[in-house]
Amino acid sequence: MGALDQGLAKARASLSRQITLGYFAIMGAMLLAVGGGGVVLWMEKQAYEDARARTAAANVSADTAAAFAQVNMTSCGGRPCVKLDTKSPRWGDKGQYVLVDTKALAK
């Protein structure tokens, strides 16, 4: 009877140890899943912020291109130049400001 009791006690201790190790393995797997999910969410947030920045830059570029088209901006010998309305009045202390000719856009 004593041998049977010792065998049962060893089996109980072994089973208890295995259950405890199983709980630790499950908790470790859950921690890895939560940590991995956090890393994935952080990477997605970074990608989203990068996409928003690229979208904002593209909108600025589109606005600039539309403004260039409206004022008939072109390249003159490698330097930017615009077509001005020479018949319009001039403004500024020395007449340095002239209205931009937008009639060519309507054609």
The 10s digit of each residue's pLDDT in 27-77 is 999 999 999 999 999 999 999 999 999 888 887 777 777 776 777 777 788
Count of helices and strands (H, E) across the chain? 2, 4
Name every residue whose Cβ is closer than 8 Å to that of residue 85 and which is 6 or more positions away in sequence. Answer: 98, 99, 100, 101, 103
What's residue 51's pLDDT?
Answer: 93
Residue 64 in tokens: 């600039």
Give the residue, 83 or 100, on which the prediction is more confident.
Answer: 83
Q: Which of 91, 85, 87, 89 is nearest to 103 (CA)?
A: 85
Residue 94 in tokens: 């020395």
Spacing of C-alpha 106 from chain mean position: 39
Every domain of the chain and the residues it spans: 1-62, 71-107
Mean predicted confidence (pLDDT) in 1-10 = 88
